[in-house]
Structure 1
Amino acid sequence: MAASLAAGAARAQSTDAAMPGMDMPRPAPQAAPKGMGMDQMEGALGPYLMTREASGTSWQPDASPHEAIHVREGDWLVMFHGQIIGVWDSQSGPRGGDKGFVSGMLMAMAQRPLGDGELQLRAMLSPDPQMGPAGYPLLLATGETANGKTPLVDRQHPHDLFMELSASYAWKLGRAASAFVYAGLPGEPAFGPPAFMHRLSVMDSPEAPISHHWLDSTHISFGVVTGGLVVGDWKLEASAYNGREPDQHRYDIETGALDSTAVRLSWNPTRNWALQASWADEISPEQLEPGVDQHKVSASAIYTVPVGDHGWWSTTAAWGRRSSQGVDLDAWVLESAVKPASAWTIFSRAERVDNDELIPALLDRGPAFTVGKVSLGAIHDWPVGEHLLFGLGGLYALDFVPGALKAAYGSTEPHGAMAFVRLKLR
């Protein structure tokens, strides 16, 4: 799925106004009476600015800008965000292909004080199932299946219709501390950085990262319960969740035992930085490999700073490792985006991945290859209504494969391009 709100943490405002300059002290979070700006509101999970909250229970820098339409109804604050993206995708060589598809998301969030804490409800839907079970062509991407029998290779799988249906409740433990519980069917466990379609550094790109299954593929786990403790700018949390990835049926709600575990430590040392380290033990995550478990670790750093009156610059560096049956596979990601003015956003990403699914064997995974991808793109937005933007964008990606794979990917360097249009609520 392409760009979206950093899920559930919308700084609902009707303009593109950026946060104040980074040399200013952080304002103290406080309860939000009517009329208070969203960049002064307290988060749903703790006594910090709402702008810190990203997908699931993950954190991003406090300086992150957000947009959403928000409505006050008594004690409830209701927020809406969404975008629909039409993409034409062209991937080179015998493993590539051309396809037009629609992606995006629609999200609603409702939040209110309740007792001694804060209640939040979220729902997020995706049009991805309309792509068909095989998703879209994307060189070097692997993971999941279109038919329950063979793995998807050089394609990005679609997300399910229901991307998040969750609830959370946080208890205040003092001026700078809280405890919270989060549950989702589906939802996102405490692993990795914010999911890629919610990271400001690349959320405007319609192209999924090839490192998705190392860092953030758990963001639509069908069954999650997370408990956490926030003390100042630190957060420690643990999740029990259903480790099995969604199957090829994209319109249903799946269930399963909460058999997997994740633990994450997050730290926001300043309003411009968000750091995390996490670990997960997943029980039989792959539908085509029942009984094969995976162990994952990840670490990431996100830096975000305002640019001018209406812009920003955000960069994410992340590393992830998947370990299974004695084999360790690493993924490295560096992505950055800059919005120099309200109309333009320029985004880029570089990845290096160890992948043993590119040449699947009959009874086992194939050999591991180190591959890479770099992409560069841009989008221009025009306001077409008080709360609606129309965008036109494109990107180009260059893929890097070792000599042993060159014949499989064609005589020229493999590459891909996407052109896209977008309607976005603001």
Structure 2
Amino acid sequence: MLIRTFLAATALSAPAAAHAQSMPAMDMAQHAGHAPPPAASNPAEEAHGTTAASPPNSPPHADTMPGMDHDAMPGMDHAAMDHAAMGHAAMDHRGAGHQGMDMHGMKGALGDYSMMRDASGTAWQPDTSPMWAIMGRSGDWSTMVHGFVTLIHDDQGGPRGDTKTFSTSMLMGMGQRPLAGGTLTLKAMGSLDPLMGKAGYPLLLATGETADGRTELVDRQHPHDAFMELSATYSRPLAKDLSGFVYLGLPGEPALGPATYMHRFSGMTNPEAPISHHWLDSTHVTFGVATAGIVYRGLKLEGSLFTGREPDQYRWNIERPRMDSWSLRATVNPTANLSAQVSHGYLHSPEGLHPEENVRRTSASVTWNLPLGANRNWQSTFAWGRNDPSGGEHGHVTDAFLLDSAVQLGRWTVFGRAERVDKDELFGDAHDGDPLAGRVFTVGKLSLGGYHSIPLGKVAFDLGGLVSRYDLPRDIQPRYGADPTSFMLFTRLRITG
């Protein structure tokens, strides 16, 4: 029911989006194919660092970092970056197989394509996706900075709900330069999320990781680690339209799953983490990643060796890499507006509370992006993930489905997310004695919200909120309530460039 409602709401927004696209005042020259990238107005300024040409207001890209996890660089949190905010005129949005650089000389980190395609880790997004960032140059280096800080009041309804006011944040810096016939890209991303406390924030139906090393986090979302990514990528042409790359991160993100929710525009606009996070993109902070792959035009094939164990409760440190797990991923961008991936991985002992348990994870996703004009964009993502555990108490194969969508129309942005997830950790393990422990329950969640943006120079101030409703099996309604309702109110300050 919730999924059908959300699909209907998304479909109803199409006429408004089409109307906005056809408005005479819309400057379509800002999109690829309508105008060449503008030259730097002042080379001296460019050499010392300037911002990319951008409209006065731009949309955000978004675990709890709304608008963050969209990277303008490989692995960059796309949720935090709005490519539209940087101005499509300043970026090359040509289709797959064409070289693209912004006016500061930055290009795709993995090969000969537009940098707009790069998302979190080595994941791709549609070439036309929006990005928010300040760009510049220093000698041979092209640079980029993006980030946000969000203040949230959270009220989760029902008997298992709770309230909390907290802050989430992210700051990412990237540098890129030519090296030995190829391209070197360095990236660092951090967060002050650990300040919210080890128990994170209330979020009904969320599961995964631990706050104290003894009990599972249930109905709460864990905070991000202070160090989210420290990575280096090197790519080099191998033949016409063919390149190879190597990505190393401590921490980093392996080739598994879609672009992280907080790094794609359709997901980053929402300040809460998806309850499907641990089926789709929970590996976006992994302490030890080595990825190698090839890019041929709009096709990318890659494989990773990485640490299967998820971050522990100590959020300020860098953990020891184990490199005991692997993954494979194929991604295709058939047009500038579309990106799809399928991936499979083996995670060795991902949960510290169940060290004997291993998981095989499979996912597939499609992200569609439609630029509608200056400060106008529509993006949607559909994703499926499956966890197949072995060797422990959790022997059930579980699936998760997610659909998220966001539409920016000037200073207003509306967003929604619908999920349907099989959960087997809501009431603890079978040996805990609870009659519901260890059972699999299929739950649904629908969130709808929006925000208004106020441009303030190179940053924007967002003011917004969201409401969430749930579809719960009859057996768990006495615990959660028959019809719980949750809401969040938030203010966010984000870099736009």
How would you bin the TM-score normalised by the shorter chain? Answer: over 0.9
Structure 1 segments, 4+ long, off by >4 Å, are 10-16
Give 5+ residue unaligned stretches, structure 1.
none
Return the offset for 1:164. Answer: 0.5
Q: What does residue range 289-308 of structure 1 map to in structure 2 within 5 Å?
A: 289-308=354-373
| 1:32-52 deviation digits (Å, cap 9, x = unpaired) | 5xxx536x9530110111100
Larger helix fraction of residues? 2
Secondary structure of the residue aligned to 2:278 is helix
Distance, in Å, in 2 between the alignment partners of 1:67 and 1:28 is 24
Identity %: 50
Aligned pair partner of 1:114 in 179, 198, 208: 179
- Point out where structure 2 has 5 or more consecutive residues left out of the alignment: 1-63
SS of residue matched to 1:180: strand
Q: For residues 349 and 31 of structure 1, what CA distance do their matches in structure 2 show? A: 32
Q: Which residue of 1 aligns with 2:467?
A: 396
- Greater shift after overlay, 163-172 or 40-49? 40-49
> Structure 1 residues 181, 159: CA separation in 2 closer, same or farther (over 3 Å shift)?
same
Mapped to 2, the partners of 1:198 and 1:363 lie a distance apart of 38
1:57-88 Cα offsets, whole Å, 9 max, x none, are 00000011212111101110111001000000
The offset of 1:14, in angstroms, is: 9.7
Question: 3-state SS of the aligned residue for 2:336?
Answer: coil
* Cα offset, 1:13, TM superposition: 7.7
Residue 259 of structure 1 pairs with residue 324 of structure 2: yes
For the structure 1 residues 220 and 414, does the alpha-carbon distance in structure 2 shift closer, same or farther, using more than 3 Å as the test?
Answer: same
Task: Give the CA deviation at 1:93.
Answer: 1.5
Q: How does 1:57-136 map to 2 (within 5 A)?
A: 57-136=122-201
Provide, for residues 108-141 of structure 1, a one-character-per-residue CA deviation record: whole Å limited to 9, x for no partner: 0000000110001111011210110000000000
Instruction: Find the residue that maps to 2:328 and give its secondary structure.
Output: strand
The answer as to 2:260 corresponding to 1:195 is yes
Shift in Å, 1:407: 0.5
Q: Who is 1:236 aligned against? A: 301
Q: Show the 5 A alignment for 1:366-377.
A: 366-377=438-449
Matching of residues 40-59 of structure 1 within 5 Å:
41-59=106-124
**Aligned residue number for residue 350 of structure 1:** 418
CA-to-aligned-CA distance 1:258-297 (integer Å, 9 cap, x gap): 0000100000000010000000101000010011100000
Classify the secondary structure of the residue corresponding to 1:332.
Answer: strand
Q: Provide closer, same or farther for how the CA distance between residues 170 and 118 of structure 1 changes in structure 2, counting only shifts above 3 A.
A: same
Match of 1:224 among 272, 289, 298: 289
Is the counterpart of residue 184 in structure 1 residue 243 in structure 2?
Answer: no
Which of 70, 78, 94 is residue 6 of structure 1 equivalent to?
70
- The residue identity in structure 1 corresponding to 2:355 is P
Work out the CA distance in 2 between the residues paired with 1:199 and 1:258: 27
Q: 1:13 to 1:239 in 2, by over 3 A?
A: closer
1:338 corresponds in structure 2 to: 407
d(CA) in 1 for partners of 2:96, 2:106:
10
- Quick one: distance in 2 between partners of 1:327 and 1:15? 43
Identify the residue that residue 478 of structure 2 maps to in structure 1.
407
8 Å CA contact 1:19–1:63 kept in 2: the answer is: no
| Aligned twin of 2:398 | 329
For residues 100 and 179 of structure 2, the distance between their equivalents in structure 1, rounded to whole angstroms, comes to 13
Show the counterpart of 2:218: 153
Structure 2 match to 1:424: 494
SS at match of 2:169: strand
2:100–2:108 Cα contact (<8 Å) kept: no
C-alpha deviation, 1:304, in angstroms: 0.1
Q: Distance in 2 between matches of 1:14 and 1:47?
A: 21
Of 412, 424, 431 in structure 2, the residue corresponding to residue 363 of structure 1 is: 431
Give the TM-score, by structure 1 length: 0.94
SS at match of 1:201: helix
Residue correspondences, number = 417
Is the 1:8–1:56 Cα contact (8 Å) retained in structure 2? Answer: no
Q: Secondary structure at the match of 2:397?
A: strand
- What SS does the aligned partner of 2:335 have? coil
| Structure (1/2) with the larger strand percentage | 1
How far apart are residue 177 of structure 1 and its match? Answer: 1.1
Do the aligned residues in 2 keep the contact of 1:225 with 1:239 (CA within 8 Å)?
A: yes
In structure 2, which of residues 444, 452, 461 is the aligned counterpart of residue 380 of structure 1? 452
TM-score normalised by structure 2 residue count? 0.81
* Structure 2 contact 161–204 (Cα < 8 Å) conserved: yes
CA distance in 1, matches of 2:373, 2:418: 26
Query: Counterpart of 1:408 in 2: which secondary structure?
Result: helix
Distance 1:347 1:264 in 2: 28
Q: Displacement, 1:16?
A: 4.7
The separation in 2 between residues aligned to 1:381 and 1:421, in whole angstroms, is 10
Which residue of 37, 56, 67 maps to 2:103? 37
Deviations 1:305-331 (A, max 9, x none): 111332110000000000013421000
Q: Partners in 2 of 1:59 and 1:13 — Cα distance?
A: 13
